[in-house]
Amino acid sequence: MTDLAQKPKTPITLSTLNKYKKTGEKFSCLTCYDASFAHLMDVAEIDTILVGDSLGMVVQGQSSTLPVTVADMVYHTANVARGNGHALIMTDLPFMSYATLADAISSSRAVMQAGANMVKLEGGSELAQIVQTLANNGVPTCVHLGLTPQSVNVFGGYKVQGKTESQTAKLLSDCEILVGAGASMILLECVPSALAKQVTERFDVPVIGIGAGVDTDGQVLVMHDMLGVYTRKPAKFVKDFLSDASNETGDIVGAFKNFHQAVKDKAFPTVAHSF
């Protein structure tokens, strides 16, 4: 069995992730929604935690992320913060909670005061003013590009983005504008590996991937997915680390540790998990 005793660790900060970017060290990220799993991720030394609006689907049983509220995100962020001592905590701003600058400021204040170290927003260049205002007020932002689940009704489903020349040009332009506005991190979801590599090499902020190949600076998975807890068919980029043969302890902490090490070693994702 894995030793679950809490050991003092140096907190991961944005400066840490920027250092990893410069030295080429990969970093791990998992979604988390409560104190107990946050503690287990602490033991496994997961680098970053995303309190994702994915909780709408994996915790609340919703059909999408759209019903999630700011109050939900505040509640779960506070829970995670109580169990965390190591990882940088990033929290999603949910659907329509940053439609205006005033909304974005209010929502960001709420989740940051609950324990987040950074907020994540879905969208492109239209977020530039929001990103700049938040940065000027001490709120780091991660911009989520590619497949953005809050826009599932616009996309007509969960589809790979950035496959055409125009989509590629738009994504690169969005990154340029948002990084210029002060975005601290980029998350790419379901984009071709070659495009994710291009973004990672072109911009000096850390880039996290999910379904975006092995070349991004960090990798994120939904915790339930990587533990094999599926309520629907898993996406191509998912790997079950709990039942994987390399998990010698056969427990959840072992799965977290194996994910973390596989990311560090560039052993995950493989071509089979990429587009």
> Which of 45, 122, 176, 189 is flagged as catalytic?
189
Q: How many helices and strands (H and E) does the chain possess?
A: 11, 8
Distance of CA 178 to the CA centre of its chain: 17
Residue/partner pairs of 204-211 with CB below 8 Å, 24 or more apart: 204/21, 204/179, 205/18, 205/21, 205/179, 206/17, 206/18, 206/20, 206/21, 206/27, 208/29, 208/48, 208/142, 209/269, 210/237, 211/147, 211/160, 211/235, 211/236, 211/237, 211/269, 211/273, 211/274, 211/275
- Residue 176 designated active-site: no
Q: Dihedrals φ, ψ of 42, to 5°?
A: -60, -45
Active site residues: 189
